[in-house]
Structure 1
Amino acid sequence: MRRIAIALAATVSVVVLLFSYRTSTDQTPVATGRPLGGTQPSRTAAPPASGTSAAGTFTGDAADTRYGPVQVQITVAGGTITDAEAIEYPQESGRDVRINSEAVPELNQETLQAQSAQIDTVSGATYTSEGYQQSLQSAIDQAHR
């Protein structure tokens, strides 16, 4: 009787796990709440004195990736990056949305911690990470002009 109870519990557990498994073929887009921005770099601050960083918001050049452009905007105050946001990134498919809804916030946070474009690549989002780093470096370069 005890073996039957254990076998029944194991079977129920396996069935529950099978039904809760999410397949990678799900093409249902998930809303991220992130607007897409333009592709033109912009600078909203006056040029800094020689050798210092400007304060303001700087938009890096869009970096083309295999799945679409990635563009980053940073806010700088007192020589410190106070905000980083990907304003454009691949969102064409449900897969793009799933990958980037997790990767982009992580890249934004990495930027604030590193205070440079020397940030870690997010596993599973290599192309987005590389494009993010390129656009971020472009924004940082603009802040140093």
Structure 2
Amino acid sequence: MHALNKNRPLRRVLLASATTVSGIVLLLALKPHTGPTVVTDSAAPAPSGSASAAPEASSGTGGSTKSSGGSTKGTGTKTVTGDTVQTRWGPVQVKVTIKGGRITDVTAVQYPTENPRDQQINSYAVPQLRSEALAAQSADIDTVSGATYTSDGYQQSLQSALDSAGL
């Protein structure tokens, strides 16, 4: 006699339920082989995150804190740090190096690194945003898919740095 005999509908229901529950348990127990690998930009220093440096408090309703400081070297190189922009997932701040009126380097000083997902997203988003800014020579850069909040904060901080530098 066959196990799924039509004369025994309760047996079919129990078997189907057990199979479904087993499948869900196996799916939820599935773990990735390795954790996300964080790729850091060699020109960028380690991000200033939640534990090492407390983000500056936001004043007013603008959502960003003015903390731009510039230093001019004897060779005509100017380094300007943009505003700290508070995003949904954490603060974003960039530092821009300008030489001869051109952006020569953009470094993310702060960006969200609270959890492994933030680290995974920003490990590919920050280098893309940097290369976009260097190519565009402005803050008019594309948003990185999957990192919308970081991209918006990066653009705002970059624009504030460029404004402070007079570009």
Whether the 8 Å contact between 1:74 and 1:139 is mirrored in structure 2 is yes
Between the aligned partners of 2:162 and 2:116, the Cα distance in structure 1 is 31
User: What does 1:51-62 align with in structure 2 at a 5 Å threshold?
Assistant: 55-62=77-84
Whether the 8 Å contact between 1:30 and 1:94 is mirrored in structure 2 is no
Between the aligned partners of 1:131 and 1:70, the Cα distance in structure 2 is 6
Give the TM-score of the pair, scaled to structure 1: 0.71
Between the aligned partners of 1:82 and 1:109, the Cα distance in structure 2 is 11
Report deviation, 1:42.
Answer: 1.3
**Which one of the candidate residues 92, 95, 120 is aligned to 1:73?**
95
Give the TM-score of the pair, scaled to structure 2: 0.62
Report deviation, 1:75.
Answer: 0.3
Tell me the equivalent position of 2:71.
Answer: 44
Identity percentage of aligned residues? 51
Q: Does 1:104 align with 2:126?
A: yes
Tell me the equivalent position of 1:35.
Answer: 46
Please identify the structure whose Cα radius of gyration is greater. 2
Between the aligned partners of 1:43 and 1:65, the Cα distance in structure 2 is 23
- RCO comparison, higher one (Cα < 8 Å, 6+): 1
Whether the 8 Å contact between 1:55 and 1:143 is mirrored in structure 2 is no
Count of equivalent residues:
117
- Deviation larger for 34-43 or 95-104: 34-43
Which residue identity does 2:71 align to in structure 1?
Answer: T
Q: Which runs of 4+ in 1 moved over 3 A?
A: 28-34, 37-40
Between the aligned partners of 1:131 and 1:143, the Cα distance in structure 2 is 18
Structure 2 segments unaligned to the other structure (5+ residues)? 1-30, 57-66
Write 1 or 2 for the structure with the bigger share of helix. 1
Q: Secondary structure at the match of 1:106?
A: helix
Between the aligned partners of 1:31 and 1:123, the Cα distance in structure 2 is 18
Which residue identity does 1:139 align to in structure 2?
Answer: A
Whether the 8 Å contact between 2:93 and 2:153 is mirrored in structure 1 is yes
Q: Secondary structure at the match of 2:72?
A: coil
Structure 1 segments unaligned to the other structure (5+ residues)? 1-20, 47-53
- CA RMSD between the two structures: 2.8
